[in-house]
Amino acid sequence: MNEGIIKLVNITRNFTVGSEIVRALQSISLNINKNDFVALMGPSGSGKSTLMNLLGCLDTPTSGQYFLNGNDVSQMNDNELAEVRNKEIGFIFQTFNLLPRSTALENVMLPLIYAGYNKTKRIERAKDVLENVHLSDRIQHKPNELSGGQRQRVAVARALVNHPSIILADEPTGNLDSKTSIEIMGLLEEIHKAGNTIIVVTHEQDIAQHAHRIIRLIDGKIESDIENKNIKTMSDYKTETTVK
C-alpha cells in the first residue's frame, strides 16, 4: 500500500479584490502518495497556481486542512512554513531563480546553509547532486556562463539537495526549447525512478504526458483526476528519432 505524503481536506482559498471575493479554490480534497508523479493542469484562472502555492507552503488556505507527511501545515505561521519549505519541499521554477553572481556550486549549497550544515558537508552534498544532474564539469560556472538547460539542471540540483519529501516544479520547461525540455523531463523521470514524489504544474500537454497522474482544474475545482495510461518516457523520443 502506498504511503500518503499529501492530504488536502476541503481546501478553499478566497481573495478579496476591491469589494468582491474571488473564490480561487473551492472545496479541494486531494491525496498524493509517496513516489507519485503528478501533473497539475488548467487554463489561466483555473486555480492551479493558487494550489501550487498552497502545496509549496507559500500560502495558507482560507479554510480546510493540508497534511504534509502527517503534519497539519494549514495553520502554521510564517516561520514554521519557512522551515517546512526548506526541509520538505524542493522548488523548480520556470525562471530558474539562481543567484547571478554565485557559481553553480554556491547556488546549490544555499538551502544547506539554512538547514545548518557545516561548510565541508555543504560542498560534499552539493557536488553529489550536481554530479547526479550531469553537471560535475560546470560547478564553478556562474549562471550567465551556462545554457538554459544547464541553468535548469542547477535549479533541479538545488531542489534535490536537502532530500525533500516532494519536488514541486512550476512550468519547469517554460523557458526552454523543445530539445532541452525533453532533456529536463528525462531528468525528472530519473529523479522519480530514484523514489522522489514529483508535482509538475504545466499548461503543456506534452509535458503533462510524462506524469503518471494528471489532475485538471477549472474554476477553482478539480475537474478530473486520472491515471495516465499513455506515459511518455525518454525511450519514446529515441524511438521517434530512429523512425525518422
**Full domain range(s) for residue 88:** 34-57+79-243
Tens of pLDDT, residues 39-86: 999 998 899 999 999 999 999 999 999 999 999 999 899 999 998 998
For the residues 176-202, what does the mean pLDDT come to? 91
Q: Output the pLDDT for position 243.
A: 39
In the predicted model, what is the mean pLDDT of the chain? Answer: 91
Length of the chain: 244
For the residues 124-135, what does the mean pLDDT come to? 94
The radius of gyration of the chain's CA atoms, rounded to the nearest angstrom, is 18
Per the domain annotation, does 70 fall within a domain? no
Task: Please answer whether residues 67 and 54 qualify as being in contact, where contact means their C-beta atoms are separated by less than 8 angstroms.
Answer: no
- Is pLDDT at 241 greater than 60 in this prediction? no
- Is pLDDT at 228 greater than 60 in this prediction? yes
Per the domain annotation, does 73 fall within a domain? no
* pLDDT classification of 244: cutoffs 50, 70, 90: very low
Nearest residue to 104 via CA among 148, 151, 62, 147:
151
Per the domain annotation, does 231 fall within a domain? yes
Tens of pLDDT, residues 97-128: 999 999 999 999 999 988 889 999 999 999 99
Task: Please answer whether residues 47 and 219 qualify as being in contact, where contact means their C-beta atoms are separated by less than 8 angstroms.
Answer: yes
- Is pLDDT at 144 greater than 50 in this prediction? yes
Per the domain annotation, does 158 fall within a domain? yes
Per the domain annotation, does 1 fall within a domain? no
Per the domain annotation, does 165 fall within a domain? yes
d(CA 50, CA 54): 6
For the residues 223-236, what does the mean pLDDT come to? 89
Q: Output the pLDDT for position 90.
A: 93
Per the domain annotation, does 183 fall within a domain? yes
Secondary structure percentages of the chain, helix, strand, coil, to 5: 40, 30, 35
AA identity, residue 142: K
Torsion region of 109: left, alpha or beta (phi above 0 gives left; psi -120 to 50 gives alpha): alpha
Count structural domains, the chain.
1
Strands (E), the chain: 4-17, 20-33, 37-41, 63-68, 71-72, 89-93, 166-170, 197-201, 213-218, 221-227
Task: Please answer whether residues 122 and 75 qualify as being in contact, where contact means their C-beta atoms are separated by less than 8 angstroms.
Answer: no
For the residues 131-158, what does the mean pLDDT come to? 94
Q: Give the CATH number, domain containing residue 49.
A: 3.40.50.300
Q: How far is CA 1 from CA 35, 88, 142, 197, 226, in A?
A: 12, 22, 44, 15, 19
Per the domain annotation, does 17 fall within a domain? no
Q: Output the pLDDT for position 238.
A: 59
